[in-house]
Amino acid sequence: MKIGVLQESYPNERRVALIPALVAQYTKLGFEVVVQSGAGFGAFHTDEAYRAAGATVLPTRESVLETAEVVLTVRTAGANPHFSDDLPSVRPGQIWIGFMEPLFRPQGVAQLAERGATAFAMELIPRITRAQSMDALSSMATVAGYRAVLLAANLLPRMFPLLMSAAGTVSPARVFVIGAGVAGLQAMATAKRLGAAVSGYDVRPATREQVESVGAKFVEIPLEVAQVETAGGYARALEEETLRRQQDLLGEYLVQQEVIITTAAVPGKRAPLLIPRRVVEAMPPGSVIIDLAAEWGGNCELTQPGETIQHHGVTVVGAVNLPAAVPVDASMLYSRNLYHLIAHLQKVGMLSEPNPEIPDEIARETLVAYGGRIVNPRVAQNLG
C-alpha cells in the first residue's frame, strides 16, 4: 500500500504531514512512501532527506495523487480553501487523512464523498486514553497556545516580567486567558514563565485545579449553567441569555487586562462571542487581544481572521494557523499523531476494508466518508 505526502496548499502552511524520521516506521508496517517534491521545505526537510530515509520523491502533486492509495495531509477538504484543485485527482476508494473541518465546514468532506473517497478526519479523534497519541488537536493546540503568548509579548508595548532597577520597578504585565483547554493552559503556563501576572477563566468550574496548577489565578464567574461540558470533554454552547450575562461579568475583568488570549470554541459551531466592542474600547491603550478562535468566527466582536487591526489603541489579532509558524516541532508532533492513527487503523483492518459499523471507537469516530456517502452522524446532521 502506497502512502502519499503532499506539499500543503493552504496559504502560509509550512507544516508537513510526514517527516523523514518516520519513513522507516511506515516501511516496517509494510507501506511504501511517496512524497511530492518540496513537501517538506517549509519545515526544513529536504527531498534528499526523504530519499535517504527510503521514500520515493515524485515531481508533481498529480503524480503523488495518481500513485497513492492513502493520502496524508495537514489541511484538506473544509480546512483548505484550495482543496477543490485536488478534487479532479481524487479516486474512488482512495483514503484521505488530515484536518478537514468536518463539523464546521462539512461541504469539503461531502465533496470527497461524492468522489467515492474514504476520509478520516483528525479533528474527530475521540478524547479517550488509548487515543491520546493520535490526538492532533491537542498537539497543535499546545503549539498555538505557546505561540500566542510570544506573539502577544512582541506586540505589547511593555515587558511581561517584574523587573527592578535603580531607575524604578517595572510591574508585571497582566495577562488574562479565556478557556482552559490545551491551548489555554499552555498559554497560561508560557505567560507565567515569562513573568506575567496571569489569570484564567473557563465556563467549566472543574478546570480551576488545572488553571492553578500552571501558576495562574482562576477567575470564577457566577453563572448557573446546568451542563457546561459535552461527553467528549469540550465546552458546550451556552444559551443566548447566559452568553450575554457571561459577556457582562467577564467584561469587568477584561477592561483591567493588558493582554487577553481567547481560546473558547465549540465543535461544529461559531465560536462564542465573549468580548464585545464596548469592552475593547474600555481597555487600556496599548493592550493586545490574541483571538485563537478567529477561524471559527472569533471570540472578539472586532476580530478579522488572519488580520491584525487596531481599535481605540488596542491591537486585535485574528490568529489563524499559528502552529504553521513553528513548523519543525509542529510537523514532528503531527506526523507522530498520524503515524499512531494509521498503525491503529491498519491493526483493526480499516485501511484494507473500511467498515462504518466497526466496534472500534477510534476508527468509527474518525471515519467521515465511505462508499460515496457521509457515514459520520454528526457530520451528516450538519450537512442537513
**Which active-site residues does the annotation give?**
127, 132, 135, 138, 234
As a whole number of angstroms, the distance between CA 237 and CA 243 comes to: 9
Residue 205, SS3? helix
Alpha-carbon distances of 98 from 137, 242, 275, 366, rounded to whole Å:
11, 35, 32, 10
Query: CB–CB of 280/311 below 8 Å?
Result: yes
Q: Which residue is associated with the grid cell 508496517? A: 29
Three-state DSSP at 265 gives: coil
H-only helix segments in the chain:
23-28, 47-53, 61-67, 107-114, 136-155, 182-193, 208-213, 240-254, 277-282, 327-347, 361-366, 377-383
Polymer length in residues for the chain: 384
CA angle 265, 271, 275 (to 5 degrees): 105
